[in-house]
């Protein structure tokens, strides 16, 4: 963090466009960031990482790059990963070797994913649901444990006797800190916190989550709490999404419900996220919830809004809250005006940037 | 199976009402079953299992009861489990000790969960989605492996250094047989099969599922296949549910998406399921997807439709397909007529039974 201090207010943003539509949406995010903060108070350092680099060099994320990334004030990431059926890129190679490796190495234990249904935005939910009130909640997804640890393996692989395992690892240390973060966020919002798990089946992990959820809750008597099983949560997301304010959950459940949350609040093209290291021992990383969407890559039609909103989360994290609010307001205004018009990736970025400069 | 053979056509149905609304909905299921098949060709044997029995005797599912259940031709189950926050019943005790124990002991490896949006049934989805075409798919959820095995534990439990693990166990044997069952079901339907997993993160388990999905698929060249990650699946369930015909997935993912499927197709009060042992080495068990719903128990307002549809799945499995179709037709007709009228549990059962006797 030395460098950021010596250069005073100049921030270094590491940029990983990644695969598919990643570079396209990231370009618009940077455009908006520059328009908001001023290009001369920013240093962008681009990193060529993702499928292309791996195909060319066999490298996914060299240690030297990790060392450099650690020097940045924040990281903006587009998307990594090939199409699910790719024949050239092994499944999980980029996800685990790059995205998850960064989340784990940089201790991004708070994976923050807000969801808000903007007025006028098309949603798959009917009027019977949306008319009940505003939908506006945030999921605090644990980012460094659970089934994402990469613990597990295969025995007798490739034979009729193969056994493949995946291990969800949960620690009191890891659960307590993310639960506390969620209570803190609830305090700044509508003071309601829901734990999502499946403690009637996953009794060990669920027991630990439950115990710490209750214990930390004693420190936040003002926060109203409840609990939902993961399966019931998916029902509530479509039948009663208004009930939620802040949700805290594990890595996999958080992955699943935030895609669903994105879908019900107008599509994954709007869903922003932050991979946050709250103590700042390493830079946080901001990225849209959507993936690399290889099917629409290169056509200039991907919606960059989620990336632009992720930039607002980045500014929040960097302490530039006024600037973050300005981006949010510009996004709100753009969404309110866009209606059903089809605009290109660049057009959306330009329109939002124009409101800011 | 000896007994069923000697008594010729008389079928023994083991009945486990269970907890909460379980006994209420099961009573209506039996009413419809009797009306359809004729009470004198059935023997109902009721088992007192669930929260009450445990509180009274400390027994969840004695081995002797398991031995008896094995003699039945089929099992009808209402629901087991206490409220998520119960102070008197430990979380998971009844779920793992009774429901899951039966699924595992009786080798219910096909957990069959059909979803169909009936015309006129209220759904949280908007007209923009429902107008695209009929929603009618079935999830084949693996029922005897994955994270439901009960493998895992806690070390330094209750301390700030606790580590809690849950292990997903997947075998080639277990995956191949359920995948094959799903292909067979696809052949009898619209010949489309989707694998749902998360093989970009859970590379070991996902790799095994993927390998066998492709390998078994070679035997079914007529079946069109695709793959979706679990997170993307939740999006598709709300944004494009018409794309699905048959889905095959693991135990936990199947648990999650079938609740969501129930919600989008008119609510979990309509979602039926069968825990099927296709080879018949032990009796299959049929149950509504919903839980014990302690909040509305004892009020006579639970919707028994899911249980009644589960009885149709039971008759299908027992080879009484004509009778199964009759129940389905009666349910269809009742749903078409019910509109927004509020009827009691008994009224719904009576109305459907009246169409059958
Ligand atoms: C790409 C994948 C590894 C990732 C995840 O599962 O976390 C993505 O789905 C997300 O939600 O950020
Ligand atoms: C009660 C619970 C153990 C069960 C499950 O998770 O399988 C239920 O949710 C279901 O879907 O049948």
- How far apart (Å, rounded) are the C-alpha atoms in residues B300 and B287? 18
Task: Give the separation between CA A309 and CA A332, rounded to whole angstroms.
Answer: 10
- B153 at interface of A, judged by CB pairs closer than 8 A: yes
Q: Strands A152-155, A163-171: parallel, antiparallel or unpaired by DSSP?
A: antiparallel
The span from the CA of A319 to the CA of B249, in Å, is 44
CB of A10 within 8 A of CB of A43? Answer: yes
pLDDT digits (tens, 9 = 90+) for A27-72: 999 999 999 999 899 999 999 999 989 999 999 999 999 999 999 9
Kindly report the CA angle at B266 between B264 and B269, in degrees rounded to 5? 115
Closest CA to A105 of A116, A118, A96, A113: A96
Over residues B130-144, the pLDDT tens digits come to 999 999 999 999 999
The lowest-confidence range among A20-24, A36-40, B109-113 is: A36-40
**Is the CB of A139 inside a 6 Å radius of any atom of ligand 1?**
no
B193 pLDDT exceeds 50? yes
Nearest chain B CA: its distance from A146 CA (Å): 8
Which pLDDT tens digit goes with each residue over A176-228?
999 999 999 999 999 999 999 999 999 999 999 999 999 999 999 999 999 99
Cα gap A224→A186, rounded to integer Å: 9
| CA atoms of A283 and B312, how far apart (whole Å) | 57
pLDDT for the residue B128: 96
In the numeric block, which tokens belong to residue A113? Answer: 């994913």
Q: Based on the number of CB atoms within 10 Å of its own CB, is A332 exposed (0-12), middle (13-18) or buried (19 or more)? A: middle
DSSP character for A135? Answer: -
Establish whether B181 is a catalytic residue: no
Is the pLDDT score of B1 beyond 50? no
Average pLDDT taken over every residue of chain B: 95
The residue contributing the CA closest to ligand 2 atom 6 is B255
Residues in chain A: 357
pLDDT band, residue B96 (cuts 50/70/90):
very high
Instruction: Say if residue B104 is exposed, middle or buried (CB neighbours under 10 Å; 0-12, 13-18, 19+).
Output: middle
Rounded distance, CA B307 to CA B269, Å? Answer: 9
Residue pLDDT, tens place only, B7-30: 557 999 999 999 999 999 999 999
Cβ of residue A81 lying under 6 Å from some atom of ligand 1: yes
Q: Do A147 and B168 touch (CB under 8 A)?
A: yes
Pick the more confident residue, B281 or B337.
Answer: B281
Domain annotation for chain A: domains and CATH numbers: 1-111+272-357 (3.40.718.10), 123-265 (3.40.718.10)
- Would you place residue A6 in the very low, low, confident or very high pLDDT band (cuts 50, 70, 90)? very low
**Residue B81 in contact with ligand 2 by CB distance below 6 A:** yes
Tell me if B271 sits within 8 A of B216, measured CB to CB: no
* Residue A230 touches partner B, C-beta closer than 8 Å: yes
Q: What does the pLDDT read at residue B4?
A: 46
Task: List, in order, residues 6 or more apart from A25 with CB less than 8 Å away.
Answer: A78, A79, A288, A302, A303, A304, A306, A307, A345
Rg (CA), chain A: 20
- Best residue of B164, B170, B216, B252 to probe chain A, by most A CBs closer than 10 Å: B164
How much of chain B, in percent, has pLDDT values that exceed 70? 98
B231 is catalytic: yes
Tokens of A177: 């800190």
pTM for the model stands at 0.96
Tell the residue nearest (CA) to atom 5 of ligand 2.
B255
When pLDDT is averaged across residues A239-243 and rounded to a whole number, the result is 98
Question: Hey, whose CA ends up nearest to atom 12 of ligand 2?
Answer: B289
Picking from A252-266, A326-340, B154-168, which range would have the lowest pLDDT averaged per residue? A326-340
What are the E-state strand segments in A80-229?
110-116, 136-142, 152-155, 163-171, 192-197, 224-229
For B159, the closest chain A residue by CA position comes to A172
Residue A160: exposure state from Cβ atoms within 10 A (0-12, 13-18, ≥19): exposed
Would you call B168 an interface residue with chain A, using a CB distance cutoff of 8 Å?
Answer: yes
Question: Tens digit of pLDDT for each residue in A295-338?
Answer: 999 999 999 999 999 999 999 999 999 999 999 999 999 999 88
Choosing among A19, A84, A104, which should be mutated to test the B contact, i.e. which has the most B CBs within 10 A?
A: A84
Q: At what angle do helices A203-217 and A172-187 cross, to 10 degrees?
A: 40
Label residues B129-162 b or e (16+ Cβ within 10 Å = b): bbeeeebbbbbbbbbbbbbbbbebebeeeeeeeb
Under 8 Å between Cβ of A307 and A271: no
Closest-CA residue in chain B for A91? Answer: B200
The chain B residue lying nearest A127, using CA atoms, is B126
Q: Please work out whether the CB of residue B99 comes within 6 Å of at least one atom of ligand 2.
A: yes
Active site residue B255: yes
Tell me the residues of chain A between 28 and 87 that have a Cβ less than 8 Å away from chain B: 81, 84-85
Confidence grade of residue A7 (pLDDT, cut at 50, 70, 90): low
Per-residue model confidence (pLDDT) at position A4: 47
Q: Kind and range of the H or E element at B97?
A: none
Render pLDDT for B207-255 as a digit per residue (tens, 0 to 9): 999 999 999 999 999 999 999 999 999 999 999 999 999 999 999 999 9
Q: Which residues contact B94 (CB under 8 A, 6 or more apart)?
A: B18, B19, B50, B51, B54, B60, B80, B81, B82
């Amino acid at each position: 963090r030395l460098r950021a201090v010596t250069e005073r207010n100049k921030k270094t943003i590491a940029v990983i466009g990644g695969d598919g539509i990643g570079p396209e949406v990231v370009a618009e995010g940077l455009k908006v960031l520059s328009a908001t903060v001023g290009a001369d108070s920013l240093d962008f350092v681009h990193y060529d990482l993702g499928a292309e680099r791996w195909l060319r060099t066999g490298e996914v994320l060299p240690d030297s790059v990790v060392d450099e990334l650690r020097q940045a004030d924040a990281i903006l990431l587009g998307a990594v990963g090939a199409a699910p059926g790719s024949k050239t890129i092994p499944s999980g190679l980029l996800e685990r070797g790059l995205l998850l490796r960064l989340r784990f190495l940089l201790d991004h234990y708070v994976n923050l994913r807000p969801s808000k249904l903007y007025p006028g935005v098309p949603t798959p939910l009917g009027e019977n649901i949306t008319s009940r009130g505003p939908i506006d909640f945030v999921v605090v997804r644990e980012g460094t444990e659970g089934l994402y640890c990469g613990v597990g393996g295969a025995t007798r692989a490739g034979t009729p006797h193969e056994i493949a395992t995946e291990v969800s690892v949960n620690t009191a240390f890891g659960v307590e800190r993310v639960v506390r973060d969620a209570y803190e966020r609830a305090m700044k919002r509508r003071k309601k916190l829901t734990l999502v798990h499946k403690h009637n089946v996953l009794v060990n992990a669920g027991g630990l989550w439950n115990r710490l959820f209750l214990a930390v809750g004693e420190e936040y008597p003002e926060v109203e709490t409840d609990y939902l099983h993961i399966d019931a949560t998916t029902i509530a997301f479509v039948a009663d999404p208004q009930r939620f304010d802040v949700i805290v959950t594990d890595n996999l459940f958080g992955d699943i419900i935030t895609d669903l949350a994105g879908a019900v609040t107008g599509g994954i093209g709007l869903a922003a996220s932050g991979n946050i290291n709250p103590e700042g021992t390493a830079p946080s990383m901001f990225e849209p919830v959507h993936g690399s969407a290889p099917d629409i890559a290169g056509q200039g039609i991907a919606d960059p809004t989620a990336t632009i909103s992720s930039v607002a989360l980045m500014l929040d994290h960097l302490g530039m809250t006024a600037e973050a609010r300005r981006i949010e307001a510009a996004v709100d205004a753009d969404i309110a005006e866009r209606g059903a018009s089809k605009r290109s990736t660049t057009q959306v970025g330009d329109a939002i940037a124009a409101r800011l400069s």
